[in-house]
Amino acid sequence: MIKKKISIINKLGLHARAAAKLTKCACEFSASVQIGYAQREIDAKSIMSVMMLAAAQGAEIEISCEGKDEEAAMQSLEALINNRFDEDE
């Protein structure tokens, strides 16, 4: 299992479109992907759970990946978040 803390840097945080992209990315891997925020831990492959986190810009989340492709999953999720979910801001 690998874990990493990542800050949400896009202007709107984990709004619906960003949550959908994050969930889609997590679902591309067989590894289990969890997100911890505000003393909650959710399944990143569930869009409703990701949206319920309501992580705004500046929030620090902790991503945990476990499985045979955990490193690839972490790299892909980290790149998506650091690229502001492919949004302008």
Looking at the annotation, which residues are catalytic?
15
Handedness of CA 62, 84, 14, 11 (dihedral sign): positive
b/e map 59-69, b = 16+ CB within 10 Å: bebebbbeeee
* 36: nearest Cα among 19, 23, 55: 55
